[in-house]
Chain A
Amino acid sequence: MTSISTSSEDGLQNANIGTASAADLFALTKPRVMTLVIFTALCGLLAAPMSIHPILGFTAILAISLGAGASAALNQWYESDIDGVMKRTRNRPLPAGRMDRETALHFGVGLSFFSVILMGIATNWLSAALLAFSIFFYAVVYTIWLKRSTPQNIVIGGAAGAIPPVIGWAAVTGDVTLMPILLFAIIFFWTPPHFWALALFVNSDYSKAGVPMMPVVAGRQSTRRQIFGYSIILAATAIAPFALGMTGIIYGLSAIILSGIFCLLSARVGFSKTEEPSEMGAEKRLFGFSIFYLFALFGALVADRVILA
């Protein structure tokens, strides 16, 4: 049945679309996701072997946050169709009809340019180039290219989320050494178990949206085995800075204990055969712990640097 809207309804829609509220523009930046980006970038900045003036350090973190917000806005601009299908994302400003796509695009592109220029002016152009690359990688390589075409989408796309500590480090030192590369690798190998644990119990939503997430394409058992495999690599990567003598005992002990728990929870997911999302306790526990794991590991790195320095 076709419904014909009244002029009043049209007016309301125009009124909503004509001027998106500040709250909706803020929501477009995915503030909850941004907290993890800000935290890891800050840890990269604080773990660097040199110091930075607080004003410039603050500006660097601000620029990284704005860059992350710009990436999120561009992601939502492109994915408004699939966001409208999934229950978790249905109420975002674009699928809910509170903003038009053009506004989101302009906001995302404008914020991208501003964040990169701000970073370059305040710190150095290497960190600005890394920030520009991460925005491009997330918006174009992950969102536009990989997400709808391969079940390896979040593995490769995870690189964008892994760059913030490298940018934070480069903002202070002006270079990229082995330590920030290891920090990048930690987040890179953390991403698949983190997202696939979530995808296992929200599988139906991704299927409905036609996103080829690993559980949809390869099946739950294969995904569970891969989660365990990535967790082993993650543990080795997380312990590497201590094993190579780049950090002290605070980080070393934390990395060993946290990675041990992570592997244990991943093993329980690996052995699970549950098909019913409501009974996936092991997957939900791993997803919850994975967030704590990253915060605790990077927190321990900063504590190690600050206390032992």
Chain B
Amino acid sequence: MSEIDTSKSPMTPEQQKAYQARQKQRAVIMAGILIFLVILFYLITFVKIGSSL
């Protein structure tokens, strides 16, 4: 993964670190939400198919 070139970025190294930490936090939460939705849609399908049998 390539790092942001700090010489061209308006951010200081500390700000860049905070920015990347926020990006990472959002990515982790998004992954958790996606896993939750996969399970939820699986269960919804299961219930719907079950009730139509």
Contact = CB atoms under 8 A, between A and B. Distances in A.
A266 to B, nearest CB: 43
Contact of A11 (B15, B47, B51): B15
A15 B44 contact: no
B40 A15 contact: no
Given A10-B10, A11-B11, A11-B12, A19 B44 contact: no
A15 B25 contact: no
Interface string A88-108: 000000000000000000000
A8 B12 CA distance: 7
Nearest to B17: A15
Interface in B1-53: 9-12, 15-16, 18-19, 22-23, 25-26, 29, 40, 43-44, 46-47, 51
Contacts of A121: 44
Contacts, number: 44
B43 to A, nearest CB: 5
Say what secondary structure dominates the interface of chain B.
Answer: helix
Interface stretch (A53-61, A165-173, A230-238, A285-293): A53-61
30 contacts: A8-B10, A8-B15, A10-B10, A11-B9, A11-B10, A11-B12, A11-B15, A12-B11, A14-B10, A14-B11, A15-B11, A15-B15, A15-B16, A15-B18, A15-B19, A18-B19, A19-B19, A19-B22, A19-B23, A19-B26, A21-B25, A22-B26, A22-B29, A53-B51, A55-B46, A55-B47, A56-B44, A56-B47, A62-B40, A121-B44
9 closest Cβ pairs, A-B complex: A11-B10, A11-B11, A15-B19, A15-B15, A19-B22, A22-B29, A55-B43, A55-B47, A53-B47
